Structure 1
Amino acid sequence: MKVSIILASYDSGHFHGGCGQGPDVLIAGGLVEALNLAGHDVAVEDIGKVGDEQEREIATGFAVCNAVAKNVRLACDNGRFPIVLAGNCLTAAGAVAGDTADSIIWIDQHGDLNTPETSAYGFLDGMALATTLGLCWRPMTSAIAGFQAIDPTRCMLVDARDLDPVEKHLLETLPIVRAQCADALDKVGKLKAAGAARTHLHLDLDVHDPEVLQVNRYAQPGGPNPDELRQLACGLARSIPIVGVTLSAYDPAFDPQAEVPPVVGELLVDFLAAFERI
């Protein structure tokens, strides 16, 4: 299978800072070799530095989205399956624009559903899913070539266990499909019934149970272990048409034993094997 791995090495506007170090460490940890060994033709593209030298979180964050959208679109045009390795979850908005997804499965311990009006800290990445659903930052997303907001009826939020009160209230009013790792496959039919035909899969690696695998500073108790998440990803590959994947938020500073790269490699090898069998 032809695969493009697209590196977006930013965290909150900072190039190669924090989780922005994750994409390079995943590559250095043998990801390309693992995919090649499984028989895939892998091309690696790096968006490099974007935005200006001030590294402003908002301006740079959306510049990253623009660059990712272009790289993902080029990969799709060349018949390659796009996998984005990102520091921030907001990058998924660019990936969705590039692969023209009409639906999204968002696997994350957080809801990422705050907006500038509701966020207690103004953390842009805490607005990532809200942005992708068109609930905020519309002038910024309108500048991302090809971006179309995902209808909340075609969004599944999986294993979000660390939610702000405003996010909990919003989830009571929006028709987002809520699921846990254990029952997500049973609810895919709801996305299909809502018209999902091109689904983007977003995986924030901090969804993992930190007692088993800690990937960044935001770890909260609970969540799936690596085997459970890998099985879910493979099940989704067989259950709904997935057009692209984003993996985000790995900070190597919280992984002193370098446990995360081989876990990601195994996840993607098995996911692509399941994807090819459909």
Structure 2
Amino acid sequence: MKITIILASYDSGHYHGGMGQGPDALIAGGLVDALTIAGHEVAVADIGRVGDDQEREIATGFAVCNVVSGEVRIAIDRGRFPIVLAGNCLTSAGAVAGEGADAIIWADQHGDLNTPETSVYGFLDGMALATVLGLCWRPMAAAIPGFKPIDPSRCVLVNARDLDPAEEELLKTLPVIRTECPGIGPATAKLKAAGAKSVHMHLDLDVHDPKELQANRYVTSGGPSPEQLRDAACAMALAVPVVGITVSAYDPAFDAQGDVPPLVGELLNDLIATIEGR
């Protein structure tokens, strides 16, 4: 397969800070080589610095989404499969826009379903999925080229276990499909029944059980092992048409042994093989 890896190296508006170091660390850890050895043709597009360093987190976060949307669209127009490596989860809004995705699989230990009205900390990335679903930041999201909010009935939330009370209450009112892995079969069936035709797969690496793999400073017990996530992601990709992938939230400062990059390589190789084989 022809693949374009798009690097969006931002964390909370800071270029190459914290989880913004993750995209380069995954590349340095051999991701391109892993995909190339598997027979894929890989190009890398780095969005670099976006906007003015003095801009605030919100402006920078959405500026990153705007650029990512364009890079994803370019990749697709050239017949290439887009994989976005991002520091922040909000960047998936740009990938969704560039792909024209009408459904999303969101694997994350967090719900990312806060809004400015409910957020206790004002953390923009904690509003990432809410933004994708059209629940907040509507004018700024609408300015992302190609963005259309995804209907919550075409959203699968995988292994979210660290939820704020407001998120728990919101999920009682939304038709979001919740699941864990293993055991994603019924959720995938519901996603198909909801009419999903082009699915974006968002993989926040902190979804893993921290005893098996710790990708950043956020630690909540439970979650899948790398093998369980890989099996579940592949099962979903076999059942529904995945048109793009985002891998987010890797902070190499919490991975002293460099365990994460090779596991991401295995995950993406298996996923791409599954997508090719549909």
1:185 to partner: Cα distance:
2.6
Distance 2:186 2:231 in 1: 13
Gaps of 5+ in 1: none
Match of 1:211 in 2: 211
Determine if the alignment matches structure 1 residue 127 to structure 2 residue 123: no
Match of 2:59 in 1: 59
Determine if the alignment matches structure 1 residue 155 to structure 2 residue 155: yes
Match of 2:108 in 1: 108
Match of 2:2 in 1: 2
Distance 1:239 1:70 in 2: 28
Amino acid at match of 2:217: R
Match of 2:33 in 1: 33
1:116 to partner: Cα distance:
0.2
Match of 1:144 in 2: 144
1:186 to partner: Cα distance:
2.6
Match of 2:227 in 1: 227
1:55 to partner: Cα distance:
4.2
Number of residue pairs aligned between Structure 1 and Structure 2: 278
Task: Indicate the percent of aligned positions where both proteins have the same amino acid.
Answer: 70
Match of 2:69 in 1: 69
1:107 to partner: Cα distance:
0.4
Determine if the alignment matches structure 1 residue 271 to structure 2 residue 271: yes
Aligned-residue Cα RMSD (Å) equals 0.7
Match of 2:84 in 1: 84
Amino acid at match of 1:190: K
Counting only pairs closer than 5 Å after superposition, residues 185-200 of structure 1 correspond to structure 2 as 185-200=185-200
Distance 1:218 1:271 in 2: 25
Match of 1:195, SS state, is coil
Say if 1:114 and 1:127, in contact at 8 Å, map to a contact too. yes
Distance 1:41 1:208 in 2: 29
Match of 1:44, SS state, is strand
1:200 to partner: Cα distance:
0.4
**Displaced runs of 4 or more, over 6 A:** none
Could you tell me the TM-score, scaled by structure 2's length?
Answer: 0.99
Distance 1:182 1:270 in 2: 16
Amino acid at match of 2:35: L
Say if 1:14 and 1:55, in contact at 8 Å, map to a contact too. no
Distance 1:118 1:146 in 2: 27
Say if 1:207 and 1:224, in contact at 8 Å, map to a contact too. yes
Amino acid at match of 1:68: V
Could you tell me the TM-score, scaled by structure 1's length?
Answer: 0.99
1:33 to partner: Cα distance:
0.4
Distance 2:71 2:232 in 1: 27
